[in-house]
Amino acid sequence: NQSNSRPKKRRRNAEKQIRERPKKNREEKRVEKRGKKRKSKVEEKQNREAEMAGDREEERKKMEDGEEEKQSRDRYAYLKKRRRARSLRKKESTAPEFGASPGQARVWSLESFSTSSGGGLARTRRSVEVFLVFFFFLQHKVKISEAHASLALRLNLRRSEARA
């Protein structure tokens, strides 16, 4: 009897294990699915947060880039102004005859006219010279014509005296 009962027990135990195994597997699967679902939900949430953070990061970078561009433009304009001011100062320092330093009055002299090669005053000096030459020439012409007039008057007087 015992020999007969052992295989039956074994069989029953085996059948029991087979019956219980799928149940365990189902439960395990449920737990795994739940875990997966939970994991996937958590992962989705993390992914969404990461994307949002990435978007925020991109926006911040864009803003920073825009600010950097603006700063570089402002810096360029600032440097341009400084260069312009420096070149103006350099011109003033190399050409003292154009203007006096703040504490001094502006004094014009023939030297300041002759030494200025900056165009403006040289042209002014040239035009003054031309005007003076022309003026003296006119004065000379006037003197000549006055002399002629006085001579003509004398001649006319003599003629009229000779007639009379």
What is the mean predicted confidence (pLDDT) over 19-48?
A: 74
Residue 147 within any structural domain of the chain:
yes
For residue range 58-87, what is the model confidence (pLDDT) as tens digits? 888 888 888 888 888 899 999 999 888 888
The domain tally of the chain equals 2
Q: Are residues 54 and 82 in the same domain?
A: yes
**Are residues 158 and 91 located together in one domain of the fold?**
no
For residue 44, tell me if it sits in a domain: yes
Give yes or no for residue 149 having a pLDDT over 80.
yes
Answer yes or no: is pLDDT of 135 > 60.
Answer: yes
> Do 47 and 120 have their domain in common?
no
Of 16-20, 44-48, 70-74, 113-117, the one with minimum mean pLDDT is 113-117
The string of DSSP codes covering the chain is: -HHHHHHHHHHHHHHHHHHHHHHHHHHHHHHHHHHHHHHHHHHHHHHHHHHHHHHHHHHHHHHHHHHHHHHHHHHHHHHHHHHHHHHHHHHHHH-GGG---TTS-----HHHHHH--SSHHHHHHHHHHHHHHHHHHHHHHHHHHHHHHHHHHHHHHHHHHHH-
78 and 113 in a common domain: no
pTM of the model: 0.22
What residue numbers bound the domain in which 69 lies? 1-96
7 and 57 part of one domain: yes
Reported confidence tier of residue 7, pLDDT bands at 50, 70, 90: confident
Q: Average pLDDT over the chain, rounded to whole?
A: 78
Question: What digits encode the pLDDT tens for the residues 84-101?
Answer: 888 887 776 665 555 555
Same structural domain, 90 and 113? no
- 56 and 119 co-located in one domain: no
Task: Select the highest-mean-pLDDT range: 25-29, 110-114, 129-133.
Answer: 129-133
User: Taking 60 as the threshold, does the pLDDT of residue 3 lie above it?
Assistant: no
Q: For residues 114 and 162, state if they share a domain.
A: yes
The mean pLDDT value for 3-11 works out to: 72
In a domain, 101, yes or no: no
